[in-house]
Structure formats: structure tokens, C-alpha cells
Copies of this chain bind each other. A is one copy, B any other.
Amino acid sequence: MLSSLPHPPLQNTAYKENDSVGLVTPLHIHFSQPLRLQSGEQLSAYDLVIETYGTLNAARDNAVLICHALNASHHVAGYHSTDASNLGWWDNMIGPGKPVDTNHFFVIGVNNLGSCFGSTGPMSIDPETAKPYGAKFPLMTVEDWVTSQACLADHFGITQFAAVMGGSLGGMQVLSWSLLYPERVRHCIIIASTSKLSTQNIAFNEVARRAIVTDPDFHGGDYQAHGTKPKRGLRIARMIGHITYQSDHGMAERFGRGLQHASTEKNGYRYSLDMEFAVEHYLRHQSDKFSDYFDANTYLRITRALDYFDPAKAYDNNLTLALAKTCANYLVISFSTDWRFPPTCSRTLVRALLENRRNVSYAEINAPHGHDAFLLADPRYHDIIRAYFSRIAKECDS
């Protein structure tokens, strides 16, 4: 789910010299070993695009992996030379002196396979055909992403991450890390996430997907070959996302029933099917932007990966049993008004971890911003992360 950023840049408004990682440059790393996927398919070779902040220490025990959610990327902090205004999506969280302090930690942001920001995905050229993969790009799962991220850790010679951290879909990857590679992660920071989507979540994902695949410009997923882009469908998908990542109360505070162009007569209404309320303008504007920069095949695949994630499934839906193999320490955080991934989901996860006698800290933040709260700089939220990472820093070699 995730992330209304980069758009409502509520706090990422200005680059501050003293507390940002500053200018960053993405790195492309090629992996020539095939990646076998859960679906049975495989990628014969692939690229991951990443960014790193801070310095890997000699013991290589201060690395922190940041996992992203639906529409974010490897660009987690700082800015690029090409666009100084486009701060990383978690710049308020990661940097020198910030909650995840790059004076102490070596932080890696990685773009997920199948995404559209540089890592191999549906828009990439299929070496077998010399054309974009398009509809042929295989379905990826949360577990597949984690497997590819483990190859990335190998590339850096990192045998164990100090922490793996993420919100929403990012949090699912964190949980999956501690299941697939229990010894390779000391601390799991799982924010605004869940061990499985609810029926309602799957249903919202399905509406978004139907909007995309029934857009006549979709062409069965091979729209690049047709020189089109299913922007109508992407807009609808994004609008649904925007509504469900925010709380009812938060939207009311921000837009209320305000009119976009109030008439001077007839009670202020223009009596029109065209844009009347301010929230309509907001939704159209955000969805237009999104349909420009995001890829439809990526949207389909990432929402499907969300649907599929369910580590308890192979254990007869017994999450406690599924988590028996874990051995990390956990910080779990939820937000009171998040109705896509509500606190009950986090509590279920915490309970299953405690039943396995894992070391778990849990915080439920009373915040008005719904699911998007995990991207915002709420001081109580950031203080908890800061305190937790201060403790982790003491475990690392200096």
C-alpha cells in the first residue's frame, strides 16, 4: 500500500544542509546468477538499483536495509543532481542526526525487482527478445524480493544486517527477511504493516487492477509495444489508493466540504458534474501525476505480491507456528487511524512473536493521518525509532 509521497511533501519541503545526506547517486548492480521465483519461473539475470548513505564499518555489522512499499523506490534520502527538490521518500527519517542516523549506520535503499525505477522490471528489455518484457515479466512475491535483497547483501559482504526496516509492504519484506534468513537480520522494524492482507484490502487492490486492465490502452500489458499507456486505469488506481491511505478524519481536516470554485449564487454550488469540491481537484491532480511516472504492469504485480503475502498459510493459518523459526528482535509500530493496515494487524503479529518468546517492542501511535502516517515526521513516532536505533548503534563495532 503506500505512500502518498512523493506528492504531499508535508515535511520534505526543503533541503537542510546540516541534517540531510545531501547529494546522492544511484548505483546499478548487475546479478548474473539466475533468480528462481516462487511462481516457478526465473529471471536469468537482473539489475538492482540502489542508493547507500553513511559508511559500512570494517566489521560490516552496521548495515540497515530499507524496504519500500508500493510506489516508492531506492531513493530513500537526499537528492539527485538532476532534481534537488525531489528529496528521498523517507528523508525525514534517515540522515545525519536523524532517527536512523547515517553517522552510525550504513543505510541501503533498494528498488524492488518488477518496479519501474531502475531495477529490472516489466519496462526493462528482455534479453531473449530484445524488447520490453511487458506482460511477460513474471509475478514477483515478497519472498522473491527478499531473496534478491539477500544477493545484494552478499554483494556488499554483509552477513547480517543490523536492521531491516520498512512500512506497509516494506514491513512485509522485513517480516519475510526474518523468516527466510533468520540469522541475517538482528533487528526487524515493521511499521504500519500486517502479516496478511484482509479481504477488503484484496478487494481494493482488485478494483485498481480491473481499472488498469480494462483500460483500452492496456493492450493486455503490452502497451509499450503499442505506444500507449493505460493512464485512465492508473489514475483510478491512484485515487483509490489516496483515499484509503488517509483517514476519514484527516481528509475532512484537510479538505472538508470546501469548494474548488465557489459560485457567488445558488448556495455556492455550480451544479456541475465537473470539479466542484476541493477534494476532487486534489484527487485528479495527484492521479494525473502518478499516471505520468508510474508503470501499470508494475502496479499490477506489486498489488498481487501484497495479496499473496501470507506466511501463516503453509502452517494452517497458525501465525505463531509460522514464526517459530525467527530469531531477530522486533520493533512493531502501528497508527491509530490507519484503516488499511489497522493496529489490530500489528497486535496479531506482536502476539504471535511473543508466543514464540521473541524480543518485541510495540508502539501504537495516536496519529490522525491514516496509513500515510508512517511517512510523516510525527515526533512521538520518530522518537521511538531514534531511541531504538541508538540502542542498535551500541551493538555495532565503532
Contacts and interface: CB of A to CB of B under 8 A. Distances in A.
Interface string A296-319: 000011001001101001100000
A203 B251 contact: yes
Interface residues of A, number: 59
A266 B308 CA distance: 12
Interface stretch (A7-15, A66-74, A277-285): A277-285
Contacts of A202: 257, 277, 279-280
A110 interface: no
A156 interface: no
A378 B258 CA distance: 37
Given A210-B235, A266-B40, A199 B139 contact: no
A279 B271 CA distance: 37
Interface stretch (A23-31, A211-219, A349-357, A384-392): A211-219
A129 interface: no
Contact of A240 (B240, B257, B269): B240
Contacts of A198: 248, 251-252
Contact of A139 (B252, B272, B277): B272
A312 to B, nearest CB: 10
A256 B310 CA distance: 12
Interface in A211-268: 211, 213-216, 232, 235-236, 239-240, 242-243, 246, 248, 251-252, 254-257, 266-268
Among A206, A235, A239, A307, max chain B CB count under 10 A is at A206
A39 interface: yes
A38 interface: yes
Contact of A300 (B207, B273, B304): B273
B284 A207 contact: no
Q: Which 9 A-B pairs have the closest CB atoms?
A: A39-B271, A199-B251, A200-B248, A207-B239, A214-B232, A206-B280, A199-B252, A203-B243, A139-B271
22 contacts: A38-B271, A40-B266, A139-B271, A198-B251, A199-B248, A200-B248, A202-B257, A202-B277, A202-B279, A202-B280, A203-B242, A203-B251, A203-B279, A204-B243, A207-B239, A207-B283, A209-B273, A211-B211, A214-B232, A214-B236, A240-B240, A273-B304
Interface of A: 38-40, 139, 196-200, 202-204, 206-207, 209-211, 213-216, 232, 235-236, 239-240, 242-243, 246, 248, 251-252, 254-257, 266-269, 271-273, 276-277, 279-280, 283-284, 287, 300-301, 304, 307-308, 310, 313-314, 339
Given A197-B257, A198-B251, 8 more contacts: A202-B280, A203-B280, A206-B279, A207-B243, A210-B284, A214-B235, A236-B236, A271-B308
